[in-house]
Structure 1
Amino acid sequence: MKTKILVLLSIFALGSSATLQAQKLKKFGSSIEKKIGPKTIKVPYTDVVSYLGYATPGNEDQVKDGKKFYYIYVWIPAVAPELGVRMMSPVGKNKIKNATVSKAYADNSKSNDYFDTYITLERSDIISKNNITEDAVKNANWVTLASNDDSGEMPKQPSGSSYNSLLRYKSEISSPTKALTVGLYRVGFTTYKRGEVKGTFVAQVAAPIKLPGVAMAKTIADLKKELSK
């Protein structure tokens, strides 16, 4: 009996170790291809902006189609050929360099809570930093450019399910509503199923070119502080 218990414990330990390994966040690459000699490679994202947060029930920004949505606002200061967005929950032991750390995350960084992420990338009709106000954002026209639920490129959650999210959106220059121009964007996130959103998360927005002056914040007030630095 003792031997069986030891074997079961060993299997459980190996499974836990594999789950922890699977939680490691890897480098973020683009979908844009470039030919170098005989080889074709994917252009890596050279500019990655990260935000560490903690979502709590009752603190959502909007209820849309019965789902509780939270938003992270992003200022994009230049035209970009592509934007990548990804979200992982929980953050776990990942060390995210140069991330904006919210107070909510700092207070709950050791939490084991996580959620099934679902993300959207939305663009507004606000194209000047001077026009970013609470009222302007509430009354802005928002266009959803892309969304994602589950991505096999992302680390698995502690449950073993591939419920973290990643999307890449290529600019459509010929379409005014689908081009990645200078302006105010937001990353929307919720859960795939209707319910509460609770847990730590890291959200990242990336581009294959340098975009000096990108700012990312959970509220408009905090975004304006970032832009004034």
Structure 2
Amino acid sequence: MKSTLSKISFIAMTLCVVFATNTSAQKLGSFGSLTEKTVGPKTIKVPYTDVVSYLGYAAAGNEDATVDGKKFYYIYIWVPAVAPELGVRMMSPVGKTKVKNAIEAADYADHAGDKDYFDTYITLERSTIISKDDINEAAVSSAKWTTLERNDDSSEMPSQPSGSNYNSLLRYKSEVGNPTKALTVGLYRVGFTTYKTGEVNGTFLAEVAAPIKLPGVAMAKTLDELNKQINQ
């Protein structure tokens, strides 16, 4: 009898540990570029040289636009130099993930411990704005935006607390011969929403990366915040 109870207790404890691990933390690995190299028997993606991290919080009702019936939120990015490639990834929730030198949204700290999260869906968009002096509400509203790449679910990203691979990652290589799709100096944005029906609600980590150093990259939820970073 004691042996049977001990086995039941052990199984119960094991399940609790597994459940707690799945729901409390997501382990984020290095961010690899499109360039690959062979190391022994393995082929790996060479990590991006420059990574800018942003910790934010998205709440229902605070969306920036409705696109094809979905509520979209935007993070604006100023890219001050020509880039051969950009990578973008997003995960929700942030949980206990530690990120060095991350930019924090004003409302992130108030929600850092929240358990809410959403099924991320991301886009990388480029605008027709090529001067930092034109970053204002009027110019951005009238600018033409081109979607360069998009992603819903990525098996390269850690699973969400539910166990599903619903976090997102995309990579985009510059098309030098195409003026609208080349990664030149200018204003970009990461659009994000949830692929499934429902509200976007929870903390998130968004990262934009390049295979070369891009000194002066700015990343913010609002244009005012972006201009402050650019002018620092």
TM-score bracket for this pair, using the shorter chain length? over 0.9
Structure 2 counterpart of 1:162, which letter? N
Structure 2 counterpart of 1:163, which letter? Y
Is 1:118 matched with 2:121?
Answer: yes
Residue 218 of structure 1 aligns with which residue? 221
Of the three residues 31, 45, 53, the one matched with 2:56 is 53
Distance between the aligned counterparts of 1:189 and 1:217, measured in 2? 14
Is 1:109 matched with 2:107?
Answer: no
Distance between the aligned counterparts of 2:37 and 2:139, measured in 1? 40
CA contact (8 A) 2:56 2:105 kept: yes
Of the three residues 57, 78, 82, the one matched with 2:81 is 78
Between the two proteins, the alignment pairs up a number of residues equal to 227
Residue 98 of structure 2 aligns with which residue? 95
Q: Please list every run of 5 or more consecutive structure 1 residues that lacks an aligned counterpart in the other structure.
A: none
CA contact (8 A) 2:24 2:161 kept: no
CA contact (8 A) 1:68 1:194 kept: no
Is 1:29 matched with 2:32?
Answer: yes
CA deviation after TM superposition for structure 1 residue 169, in Å: 0.3
Q: Please list every run of 5 or more consecutive structure 2 residues that lacks an aligned counterpart in the other structure.
A: none
CA contact (8 A) 1:68 1:195 kept: no
CA deviation after TM superposition for structure 1 residue 16, in Å: 2.3
Structure 2 counterpart of 1:68, which letter? K
CA contact (8 A) 1:22 1:155 kept: no
Of the three residues 162, 166, 181, the one matched with 1:163 is 166
CA deviation after TM superposition for structure 1 residue 135, in Å: 0.6
Is 1:206 matched with 2:209?
Answer: yes
Residue 19 of structure 2 aligns with which residue? 16
CA deviation after TM superposition for structure 1 residue 182, in Å: 0.5
CA contact (8 A) 2:66 2:72 kept: yes
Structure 2 counterpart of 1:188, which letter? G
CA RMSD of superposed structures (Å): 2.0
Distance between the aligned counterparts of 2:84 and 2:229, measured in 1? 24
Structure 2 counterpart of 1:223, which letter? L
Residue 190 of structure 1 aligns with which residue? 193
Query: Cα–Cα, structure 1 residues 139 and 69, in superposed 2: closer, same or farther, change >3 Å?
Result: same
CA deviation after TM superposition for structure 1 residue 22, in Å: 6.7
> What does the per-residue CA deviation read over 1:54-101, in whole Å, with 9 as the maximum and x for residues that have no partner?
100000000111100000000001111100000010001111111111
CA contact (8 A) 2:25 2:97 kept: no
Is 1:174 matched with 2:180?
Answer: no
> What does the per-residue CA deviation read over 1:117-155, in whole Å, with 9 as the maximum and x for residues that have no partner?
000000000000011111101111000000000000000
Give percent identity, aligned residues only: 68
For 1:118-157, what aligned pairs fall within 5 Å after superposition? Answer: 118-157=121-160
Distance between the aligned counterparts of 2:140 and 2:109, measured in 1? 27
**TM-score for the superposition, normalised by structure 2:** 0.92
**TM-score for the superposition, normalised by structure 1:** 0.93
